[in-house]
Amino acid sequence: EIVMTQSPATLSVSPGERATLSCRASQSVSGNLAWYQHRPGQAPSLLIYDTSTRATGVPARFSGSGSGTVFTLTISSLQSEDFAVYYCQQYNNWPPWTFGQGTKVEVK
């Protein structure tokens, strides 16, 4: 099973600042990596798939990069609605598909 490790566990950022979230896989997942946003009390939503493709309706301030075992989600200028928990997920090697434990982006 591929283990996905996200860092940091919590990221404190001021509105308007840049946020950089990391996701590391225990073995290569090629480019088969997705990111999700989970706001409190809401359903999780897909942000990025195939490492860097934004899902429908996702603002351009969200971008993904990486390959192999190291991936990054960048939020260029944090808006109030971006304070949430973010998860990465690999869908390259199964079973099973696996998620990271999450990074909480909170207001500094």
Partner 1 sequence: QVQLVQSGSEFQKPGASVKISCKTSGYTFTNNAINWMRQAPGQGPEWMGWINTNTGDPTYAQDFTGHFVFSVDTSVSTAYLQINSLRTDDTAVYYCARDHGDYVFQFFFDYWGQGTQVTVS
Positions touching partner 1 (CB under 8 A) are 4, 6, 34, 36, 42-46, 49, 55-56, 87, 89, 91, 94-102
Pair of tokens at residue 71: 């991936």
Q: Which is nearer to partner 1, 51 or 69 (CB)?
A: 51
Q: How far is the CB of 96 from partner 1 (least distance, A)?
A: 4
Q: How far is the CB of 79 from partner 1 (least distance, A)?
A: 21
Q: Which is nearer to partner 1, 15 or 96 (CB)?
A: 96
Q: Are 89 and 100 in contact (CB under 8 A)?
A: yes
Pair of tokens at residue 72: 């990054």
Q: Are strands 4-7 and 19-25 parallel, antiparallel or unpaired?
A: antiparallel
Q: Are 64 and 71 in contact (CB under 8 A)?
A: yes
Q: Which is nearer to partner 1, 45 or 77 (CB)?
A: 45
